[in-house]
């Protein structure tokens, strides 16, 4: 287990957080929701390996750790946000964590967030850090997350720090707005964690001259981190970017995109660089067939993959040349080749993102003016290896 401490030089009133919508959340999420009402936040303490979800006396264990961290930092327990990620159902080793806390204090530094980004990971292949400069200050965000990823708010741990002064209420309203097109528009495996947390903390040192510019920079950091989480998703070898356009409304567009990135057969075909676009059409038809009858007209559906038209006027638009081009597009988006190991346990063959390319899918519904872009991953042997054997 790694314990990570993010401490502010002085506590701030300007902080925001959103948490998982899972109905059986972890003890740190239950505590975190209460912290939103506190006047100030001074630190965040994070452990990996054990998520402290529905464990006996889980809330008491997390509160004990907050109290001890607060005592070391000269803060009340209520100024500490606790976070845990890892196996669901196990109890935190609270006594050992209390022993360890004083030993991490000397390691606090203000040079780099990289050690924190490295400390919070579980099955992540690499740390994820994104930064934006805005109005004389900056926004820095770190992310943990690789599996159990379909945020319904944000299935992962995200910490975003800024020196720009934005008052608490504005900060919270902005965070609510930016999570929609970022962390709520991704899925690795359709599972929603019990521990997801996005926290945004301002040290309020640089006056904010332009709220719109700040929110735009915040949105960029969030969208970049969200895509990082998918690109580093468990076993992900292809990132899928599904742009749904001309939809009747944004909710419809987002739901349809989610169904496509979560359709197992299509995900497997992508993993195999197989342009089996029939499975893409199946996924769209499955979703629309489940909606109340008459709520949707698919007669104007047009599909492209990698810029190539594959479906229009109710029929496929395919030929051998297009199939070849689709295979080339899939191969160009591959993050690494799958390697068959001697022991049969597949492992991802990268420890960094080799490129930022995606399998580009466009779904034009032709029935409105709303749109949404959803990011997801394929379904690979590496995902099964990681989750049939790994415990977290």
Task: Count the site residues for a copy of itself by CB under 8 A.
Answer: 71
- Cα 47 from chain centroid (whole Å): 18
> Is 122 a binder of a copy of itself (CB under 8 A)?
no
> Is 389 a binder of a copy of itself (CB under 8 A)?
yes
- Render 126-152 in DSSP notation, one character per residue: S-EEEEEEETTEEEEEEEE-SSSB--S
Residue 254: which of 287, 218, 300 has the closest Cα?
Answer: 287
Contact code string over 44-83 relative to a copy of itself, x by CB under 8 A: -------x-xxxx-x-------------------------
Among positions 123, 185, 192, 252, the unique one binding a copy of itself when judged by CB under 8 A: 192
> Is 147 a binder of a copy of itself (CB under 8 A)?
yes
Report in angstroms how near the CB of residue 375 gets to a copy of itself at its nearest: 17
79 versus 303: smaller Cβ distance to a copy of itself: 303
**What six digits make up the tokens of 48?**
């990996």
Contact between 97 and 3 under an 8 Å Cβ cutoff? The reply is: yes
> Is 380 a binder of a copy of itself (CB under 8 A)?
yes
**What six digits make up the tokens of 388?**
């049939």
Report in angstroms how near the CB of residue 285 gets to a copy of itself at its nearest: 3
- Render 165-202 in DSSP notation, one character per residue: E--HHHHHHHHHHHHTTTGGGEESSS-B-SS-EEEEEE
Among positions 264, 324, 336, 356, the unique one binding a copy of itself when judged by CB under 8 A: 264
d(CA 93, CA 20): 24
Report in angstroms how near the CB of residue 360 gets to a copy of itself at its nearest: 19
Report in angstroms how near the CB of residue 371 gets to a copy of itself at its nearest: 20
> Is 321 a binder of a copy of itself (CB under 8 A)?
no
Beta bridge partners of 45: 5, 82
Q: Which of residues 266-285 bind a copy of itself (CB under 8 A)?
A: 268-269, 271-272, 274, 276-279, 281-285
> Collapsing DSSP states into helix, strand and coil, what is residue 1?
coil
């Amino acid at each position: 287990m790694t314990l990570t401490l993010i401490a502010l030089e002085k506590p701030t009133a300007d902080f925001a957080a959103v948490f998982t919508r899972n109905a059986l959340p972890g003890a740190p999420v239950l505590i975190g929701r209460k912290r939103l009402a506190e006047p100030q936040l001074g630190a965040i303490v994070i452990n990996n390996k054990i998520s402290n979800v529905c464990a006996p006396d889980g809330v008491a264990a997390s509160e004990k750790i907050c109290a001890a961290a607060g005592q070391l930092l000269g803060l009340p327990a209520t100024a500490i946000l606790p976070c845990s990620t890892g196996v669901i159902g196990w109890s935190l080793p609270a006594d050992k964590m209390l022993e360890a806390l004083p030993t991490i204090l000397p390691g606090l530094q203000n040079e780099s967030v990289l050690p924190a980004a490295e400390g919070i990971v579980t099955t992540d292949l690499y740390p994820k850090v994104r930064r934006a400069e805005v109005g004389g200050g900056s926004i820095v965000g770190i992310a943990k997350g690789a599996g159990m990823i379909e945020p319904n708010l944000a299935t992962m741990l995200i910490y975003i720090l800024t020196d720009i002064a934005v008052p608490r209420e504005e900060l919270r309203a902005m965070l609510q707005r930016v999570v929609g097109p970022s962390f709520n528009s991704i899925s690795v495996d359709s599972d929603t964690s019990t521990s997801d947390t996005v926290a945004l903390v301002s040290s309020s040192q640089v006056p904010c001259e332009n709220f719109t510019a700040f929110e735009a920079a915040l949105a960029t950091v969030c969208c970049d981190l969200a895509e990082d989480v998918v690109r580093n998703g468990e076993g992900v070898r292809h990132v899928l970017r599904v742009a749904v356009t001309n939809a009747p409304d944004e909710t419809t567009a987002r739901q349809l995109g989610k169904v496509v990135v979560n359709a197992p057969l299509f995900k497997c075909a992508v993993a195999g660089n197989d342009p089996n676009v029939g499975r893409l059409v199946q996924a769209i038809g499955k979703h629309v067939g489940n909606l109340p009858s008459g709520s949707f007209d698919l007669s104007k559906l047009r599909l492209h993959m990698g810029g190539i038209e594959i479906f229009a006027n109710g029929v496929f638009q395919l030929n051998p040349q297009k199939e070849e081009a689709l295979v080339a597009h899939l191969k160009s988006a591959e993050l690494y080749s799958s390697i068959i190991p001697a022991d049969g346990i597949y492992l991802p063959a990268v420890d960094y993102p080799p490129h930022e390319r995606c399998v580009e899918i466009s779904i034009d519904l032709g029935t409105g003016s709303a749109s949404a872009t959803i990011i997801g991953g394929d379904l690979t042997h590496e995902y099964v290896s990681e989750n049939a054997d790994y415990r977290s």
